[in-house]
Structure 1
Amino acid sequence: MADAVAPTQIADVPLSGVIGMPIGHSKSPRLHGHWLKHYGINGHYVPMSVMPEHLAEVLRVLPFAGFVGLNVTIPHKEAVLTLADVVTDRAALIGAANTLIFRPDGKIHADNTDGYGFIANLRQYAPDWQADAGPAAVIGAGGAARAVVASLLDSGVHELRITNRTRLRAEQIKGEFGARVVVYDWAQAGNMLDGAATAVNATSLGMTGKQPFRIPLDALSPDAVATDLVYTPLMTPFLEGAQQRGCRIVDGLGMLLHQAAPGFERWFGQRPEVDEAARAAVLE
């Protein structure tokens, strides 16, 4: 669970934003811009392209330049942990942060809300989903997958199956998260889905411009809930295949929306609604 966070002191015109390299693809400015306008908040959300060698300097300056916090994306999600003054338990466990809160004294609080966003998305669009309904199967072992693994285990999944092209990364996750994690060879990824109640694609396979998703879904039960972290396209090959099997499917856009809500609340003092208007704003 995350450590308790004192509310950020709201500046006269609070500023927040997202840092990464590159940053032009980020949909966060659309989402936060929508929420700022919807709630009539006099604030701004700024996308910033920051080179890794400039990260520490940027983070030292922004808390004293009207910024109340930031979202963090590739390639800075791991590096910011070493620069933060306070790191939540879940960010430390995952090994990455996606949300920074700047305190009035300039100290930086680092959190990871990806796992929260993942579970909130499942609960919104598959409201009868139960973590303990059966094994969960996770394809991929990168940073996003680590957040998914942590959140599923925390929610009560009894057995979590994981596979990755590089088996070592999956073994590392097992070593850190314990005996409930079972590693499968990449060649056995299709078999891993047999009997799974929850199936997750946490790779970029099937994403626009990336390699295709070719893992067979024949073993996937029609009773399973399938979700993809990819949201470009919204209906990914993995979700199409799962839907054809009769599964309930949950697209990845909701995770993006839900993971953003805690940061927005801490920065601007308003808990935003994750609704169809927010989805539409991001998809414009």
Structure 2
Amino acid sequence: MPALPLAGVMGWPVAHSRSPQLHRHWLDRYGIRGHYVPLTVAPEHLAQVLHALPRAGFVGLNVTIPHKQAVLALADVVTDRAALIGAANTLIFRPDGRIHADNTDGYGFTANLFQQQPEWNPAAGPAAVIGAGGAARAVVAALLECHVPELRIANRTRIRADQIKAEFGARVVVYDWAQIGNMLEGATTVVNSTSMGMEGAQPLRVPLDALSPDALVTDLVYTPLDTLFLREARSRGCRTVDGLGMLLHQAAPGFERWFGVRPQVDDALRVAVLG
């Protein structure tokens, strides 16, 4: 490891990322002499920049939109889960210069739920996932790994949901967007994986009449922290989990690989990231 190890988050744009506050908190907390910086890199410069960074003292990167798919083709080693999801969010630069690509989003998703709701049992009943984008793919992979008996999914463009079924198998059941209300019936885990409900985006409007009060409901959106979707689910008696914890937990494996310490995800970290 370099005397002053460097890591960062690469995207286009990247100014909105909370990752620098997150990793700065951990670096300070564990007394590590290192830096974590935002890197704004246009898609046409991705390969050139990526291959130069290890020579500049970088030990790894987080990768965000729009580079999460493209880095797979540039990596020397791709984990099975990154290949299955079709995207990487964590890169490790090995001492021999090889680039190792992984996806920790699914880990972050389930770790957040287990931390906030320790009694959550994913195998207790069907899961319902709203949306079929990149984040949804990580969530689907994680839920299936946690032995969810049936995974229901709906997306405004059905073909993307059909593609997830084709790749992830028989436990995935696709619903039309107009059938979301029916999809929630009997579901014990409900996930909004879309950006709807985020500040500046259109609200997520789905009929919740069939939602069971025993369901655990989570939203990957964390700006605002308490979305309308979560508030409406709580009004029906559901337990809810906000999306910030997924961001925090997905960061931990990368930090450990880059800086040699397994960091804690706790209330002090949430405060630091929320600023």
Give the structure-2-normalised TM-score: 0.99
1:211 corresponds to which residue? 202
2:22 corresponds to which residue? 31
2:179 corresponds to which residue? 188
Aligned-residue offset at 1:213: 1.1
Q: For residues 178 and 41 of structure 1, what CA distance do their matches in structure 2 show? A: 44
1:13 to 4, 25, 28: 4
Q: Tell me the alpha carbon deviations over residues 120-157 of structure 1, each in whole angstroms, 9 at most, x when there is no partner.
A: 00000010001111000000000000000000000100
2:98 corresponds to which residue? 107
Q: For residues 112 and 197 of structure 2, what CA distance do their matches in structure 1 show? A: 20
2:166 corresponds to which residue? 175
Aligned-residue offset at 1:159: 0.2
Q: How many equivalent pairs are there?
A: 275
Q: For residues 164 and 213 of structure 1, what CA distance do their matches in structure 2 show? A: 12
Where does 1:122-133 land on structure 2 (aligned, <5 Å)? Answer: 122-133=113-124
Where does 1:6-155 land on structure 2 (aligned, <5 Å)? Answer: 10-155=1-146
1:200 is paired with a residue whose SS is strand
Q: For residues 42 and 131 of structure 1, what CA distance do their matches in structure 2 show? A: 40
1:162 corresponds to which residue? 153
1:182 is paired with a residue whose SS is strand
2:263 corresponds to which residue? 272
Structure 1 residue identity aligned to 2:52: V
2:269 is paired with a residue whose SS is helix
2:239 to 219, 223, 248: 248
1:157 is paired with a residue whose SS is coil
Q: For residues 220 and 46 of structure 1, what CA distance do their matches in structure 2 show? A: 42
Pairwise CA RMSD = 0.4
Q: Tell me the alpha carbon deviations over residues 94-145 of structure 1, each in whole angstroms, 9 at most, x when there is no partner.
A: 0000000000111100000000000000000010001111000000000000
Q: For residues 219 and 186 of structure 2, what CA distance do their matches in structure 1 show? A: 18
1:271 is paired with a residue whose SS is coil
1:226 corresponds to which residue? 217
Structure 1 moving runs of 4+ over 4 Å:
none
2:251 to 241, 245, 260: 260
Structure 1 residue identity aligned to 2:245: G
Q: For residues 88 and 11 of structure 1, what CA distance do their matches in structure 2 show? A: 25
1:196 is paired with a residue whose SS is coil
- Indicate the percent of aligned positions where both proteins have the same amino acid: 76
1:80 is paired with a residue whose SS is helix
Q: For residues 253 and 217 of structure 1, what CA distance do their matches in structure 2 show? A: 23
1:71 is paired with a residue whose SS is strand
Q: For residues 92 and 213 of structure 1, what CA distance do their matches in structure 2 show? A: 30
